[in-house]
Amino acid sequence: MLSYLDFEKPVAELEGKIAELKSLAQTDQAVAIDEEVSRLSKRAEEALGEIYKKLTPWQKTQVARHPQRPHFTDYVKGLITEFTPLAGDRKFAEDAALQAGFGRFEGQPVAIMGQEKGSNTETRLKHNFGMARPEGYRKAVRIMEMADRFDIPVISFVDTAGAYPGIGAEERGQAEAIARSTEKCLELGVPNLSVIIGEGGSGGAIALATANRVLMLEHAIYSVISPEAGASILWRDAGKAQDAANSMKITAQDLLGFGVVDTVIPEPVGGAHRDHSAVLSETRREIGDFLLNFRANRSRLEIREHRREKFLALGTALG
C-alpha cells in the first residue's frame, strides 16, 4: 500500500475513493464504476501534477526520505547483473550500511557501492538507516583500490542522512575514514560516477560522491547538514527545519545552477516511489551514456585531472 506524505492528502482522498469503488465492484458485479473511476483518476492525476509542480525544499526533503523510494538494492537489482557483494574492511568489521561489490552494467564490468537504508523495520536496523561507520568507508576504499588496479569504472549510489555519529564510530576514526574515502575518489585513474538517489548528507555523502560526474534525482536533496541539524545549530530549535531547508539551497535544481551536480534525472510525477521502473530506466540511460562517452581519448592522468579541476572550480563562478 502506498504511503502518502502530509501535503499529498488531496490525492490520498481521491485515490482512497477509487480503491473503495473498485472494492465495491468486486462484491457487487451490478455496480458500474468505470465512468466514476475514470473521472476520479483524472482528478487525482491533475492534483498530483499540480502539487509536484511547486514543491518547496522541505517538501522535497520529505519526498527524498519517502520509505518506498527505491534504495541501493533496488538499483543494483534493476541495473546490475552478476553482482557480487564484498564484505569487510580487512581491519575491523563488516558494515551493512554501506554496500559494495562488483558486477556488470550492460555487460561492462563495474564496481558498485552505496548506502542502503532498508525498507522495513528489520532491514533498517540491519543497515543502520544508511548511516555508515568507519569500516564502511574503509570498505569503500578497498573496493575503489581494486577497481583502480583492474581498470574498472566505479559507480556509487548515495542515500544517507550522514555518516554515523556514534561514540564507537568516532573512536575508530570516522572523520579520517571519510577523508580517506574522499581522497581515494580523487586519486582514481578510472572514471567514477555518483548518483544522489535520496539524501546526500554531509561528509557521509561526499565520501562517495567526489566523482567525475555527479547525477541527482529530481526530488533528491544534497547538503552539508540535515535541515533538522542546521535548525538546531542556527536557532536552537529543530522544529524550524522547514525554514532551514528553504534557506539552504539543497534541491537538485539549486545545485545544478551552482554546478555542484552535473545532471538532474527526472522522476515520475509523484516521485520515484510511485514508479520504480521509470526512474531506473532514466538512470540506466545516464549511466550508459557516461560509460560509453566519458573515457574516450582520456588517459588515466586526464581522468584524474578532470575530477580534480571539477572540484577546485566549485564556487568560483559565484565569486
The average pLDDT across 136-147 equals 97
- 44 and 155 assigned to the same domain: no
Structural domain boundaries enclosing 21 = 14-54
In a domain, 290, yes or no: yes
Tell me if 91 is assigned to some domain: yes
Asked, for residue 6, whether it belongs to a domain, the answer is no
- Specify whether 95 is located in the same domain as 179: yes
Cell 504511503 identifies what position? 3
Instruction: Tell me how many domains the chain contains.
Output: 2
CA angle 87, 92, 98 (to 5 degrees): 40
Residue 7 lies in a domain: no
What pLDDT, on a 0 to 100 scale, did the predictor assign at position 8?
92
Tell me the C-alpha to C-alpha distance, in Å, between residue 309 and each of 108, 196, 210, 313.
27, 21, 12, 6
Angle between helices 241-248 and 227-235 (to 10 degrees): 110
100 and 40 share a domain?
no
Residue 5 placed within a domain: no
Task: State whether 42 and 116 are in the same domain.
Answer: no
Residue 8 located in a structural domain: no
Residue 18's pLDDT is: 85
Asked if residue 256 and residue 169 are part of one domain, the reply reads: yes
pLDDT at 31 over 60: no
Mean pLDDT of 289-317: 91
% of the chain exceeding 70 in pLDDT: 97
215 and 82 together in one domain: yes
Q: Is 170 exposed, middle or buried (0-12, 13-18, 19+ CB in 10 A)?
A: middle
Say if residue 88 is in the same domain as residue 177: yes
Do residues 314 and 192 both lie within one domain?
A: yes
In this structure, the answer to whether residues 82 and 44 fall within a common structural domain is no
Query: Which of residues 22, 37, 54 is at a domain's end?
Result: 54
Same domain membership, residue 107 and residue 89? yes
Tell me if 299 is assigned to some domain. yes
Q: Are 83 and 216 in contact (CB under 8 A)?
A: no
Residue 150 has pLDDT above 70, yes or no: yes
Dihedral over Cα of 254, 257, 260, 261: its sign: positive
On whether both 43 and 117 belong to a single domain, the answer is no
Last residue of a domain, one of 54, 86, 103: 54
| Same domain as 125, residue 24 | no
- pLDDT tens digits along 32-81: 677 788 888 899 999 999 999 999 999 999 999 999 999 999 999 999 99
Q: What is the CATH number of the domain that holds 72?
A: 3.90.226.10
Residue 270 lies in a domain: yes
The DSSP secondary-structure symbol of 266 reads P
Taking only the tens place, the pLDDT of each residue in 232-271 is 998 999 889 999 998 999 999 999 999 999 999 999 999 9
**Helix (H), strand (E) at residue 265:** strand 263-265
